[in-house]
């Protein structure tokens, strides 16, 4: 398989690169359907110049994300087949682009999001609120709580922004270093646009105008016992606030309800964790007792709420080095998320409905 073209940062504006990608995809689809177009053109009589023109209406495949209800008679399946074949050809020949972090937007949009969407819509039935608080353009830092024993909440957050934001924005998640040392997980995370949770990577993404997602609780949040669910852990030293201040990016608090119960962690085998070199080894009512079935999450009902953005562009450049300001902003973000969690829990009818 040929290598994909790598686009270094700063070489081209993001919109220009996206336009090239879209332009090439349209050219491929037009080439694939060209014979059909020529036959229809030859068979159709010339239209009178004075005859009124009836605008073509978009079919189900064009108006909806999944194209539900499209029949073979209107050419919907032909278009899907041509699109799929063109996609496979580009993957084989290497005619697709990735950035310096390994982010593959085409693969993410067409394959990974499609694979995660049934889990998001049908299994967890995620309800999204306040997604309009994420700016339509420019940099933004989304700060969310972290829970669930396995980092499923980060993936569902990515689908929520991808599918529901009015401007169709993508979120670049910051992940722990453990993610990038696991053989298969490393490749998938890079393709999804995840990058190492360090100030340098976050700063570079924000300066490019990207939406960056961070979960400051880290392993303390995702690996906390079930008895401490929805109680936010320490937010580190406020490094995410410093990064946002330096980039002048607004901070958007995000509260996720429902992830805490997918793998109720009732115990932690520290001995096994040390032997395996992982932060914790969870013991749940189903894992490891049921083997592979133990890693199937419970079908809880999720709610993801984005709060009002906290602006940072009004601070002077030296504000990023003010420890008191960083502490105050960190505490403000943390208290906003915690208060929203409690509010959503009061409104929730049950864990599963």
Query: Per-residue DSSP letters for 64-130?
Result: SSS-TT--GGGTHHHHHHHHHHHHHHHHHHT--EEETT---HHHIIIIIHHHHHHIIIIIS--EEE-
pLDDT digits (tens, 9 = 90+) for 258-311: 999 999 999 999 999 999 999 999 999 999 999 999 999 999 999 999 999 999
Q: What is the Cα–Cα distance from 139 to 240, expressed in whole angstroms?
A: 13
> In the predicted model, is pLDDT for residue 129 greater than 70?
yes
Cβ neighbours of residue 351 closer than 8 Å, sequence gap 6 or more:
258, 261, 300, 301
Percent of the chain with pLDDT over 90: 69
Kindly indicate the confidence band of residue 22, based on its pLDDT and cuts at 50, 70 and 90.
very low
Convert 178-207 into a string of H (helix), E (strand) and C (coil): HHHCCHHHHHHHHHCCCEECCHHHHHHHHH
Quote the mean pLDDT of the chain. 83
Give the SS3 label for residue 218: coil
Say yes or no to pLDDT of 97 above 80.
yes
Nearest to 257 by CA among 153, 132, 174: 153
Predicted local distance difference test score (pLDDT) of residue 25: 37
pLDDT digits (tens, 9 = 90+) for 219-236: 999 999 999 999 999 997
Does position 38 have pLDDT exceeding 80, yes or no? no
Tell me which of 50-59, 98-107, 259-268 is least confident: 50-59
Predicted pLDDT of residue 90: 87
Q: What integer is the mean pLDDT of 167-179?
A: 94
Q: What is the pLDDT of residue 27?
A: 39
pLDDT for position 236:
78
Beta-carbon-side half-sphere exposure of residue 268 (alpha carbons within 13 Å): 16
Q: Give residue 317's pLDDT.
A: 85
> Can you give the pLDDT at residue 266?
95
Which of 44 and 95 is assigned the larger pLDDT?
95
**Lowest mean pLDDT segment, chosen from 20-34, 126-140, 174-188:** 20-34
Q: Write down the domain spans for the chain.
A: 105-262+297-347
Residue 5: pLDDT band with limits 50, 70, 90? low
Supply the pLDDT for residue 75: 60
Q: Is the pLDDT of residue 44 over 60?
A: no
For residues 209 and 58, the model is more confident at 209
Neighbours of 175 (CB within 10 A): 22
pLDDT value at position 280?
95
User: In the CATH hierarchy, which fold is given to the domain comprising 105-262+297-347?
Assistant: Glycerol-3-phosphate (1)-acyltransferase (3.40.1130)
Residue 176's region, left for phi above 0, alpha for psi from -120 to 50, else beta, is beta
């Amino acid at each position: 398989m040929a290598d994909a073209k790598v686009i270094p940062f700063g070489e081209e504006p993001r919109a220009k690169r996206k336009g090239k990608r879209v332009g090439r995809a349209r050219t491929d689809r037009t080439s694939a359907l060209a014979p059909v177009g020529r036959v229809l053109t030859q068979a159709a009589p010339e239209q009178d110049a004075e005859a009124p023109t009836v605008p073509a209406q978009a079919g189900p495949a064009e108006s909806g994300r999944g194209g539900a209800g499209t029949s073979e008679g209107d050419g919907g399946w032909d278009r899907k087949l041509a699109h799929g074949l063109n996609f496979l050809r580009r993957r084989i020949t290497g005619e697709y682009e990735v950035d310096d972090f390994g982010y593959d937007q085409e693969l993410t949009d067409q394959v990974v999001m499609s694979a995660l969407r049934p889990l998001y819509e049908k299994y967890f039935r995620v309800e999204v609120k306040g997604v309009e608080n994420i700016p339509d353009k420019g940099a933004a830092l989304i700060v969310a709580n972290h829970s669930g024993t396995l980092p499923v909440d980060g993936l569902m957050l990515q689908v929520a922004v991808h599918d529901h934001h009015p401007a169709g924005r993508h979120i670049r998640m910051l992940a722990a270093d453990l993610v990038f040392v696991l053989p298969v997980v490393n490749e998938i995370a890079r393709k999804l646009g995840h990058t190492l949770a360090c100030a340098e990577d976050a700063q570079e993404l924000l300066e490019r105008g990207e939406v960056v997602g961070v979960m400051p609780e880290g392993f303390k949040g995702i690996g906390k016992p079930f008895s401490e669910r929805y109680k936010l852990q320490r937010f580190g030293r406020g490094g995410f606030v410093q990064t946002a201040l330096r980039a002048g990016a607004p901070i958007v608090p995000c509260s996720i309800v429902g992830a805490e119960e997918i793998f109720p962690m009732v115990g932690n085998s520290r001995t096994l964790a040390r032997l395996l070199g992982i932060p914790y080894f969870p013991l749940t009512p189903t894992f490891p007792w049921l083997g592979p079935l133990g890693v199937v999450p419970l079908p809880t009902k999720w709610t993801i709420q984005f709060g009002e953005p906290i602006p940072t562009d009004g601070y002077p450049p030296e504000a990023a080095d003010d420890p008191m300001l960083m502490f105050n902003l960190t505490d403000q973000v943390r208290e906003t998320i915690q208060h929203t969690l409690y509010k959503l829990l009061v409104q929730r009818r049950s864990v599963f409905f």
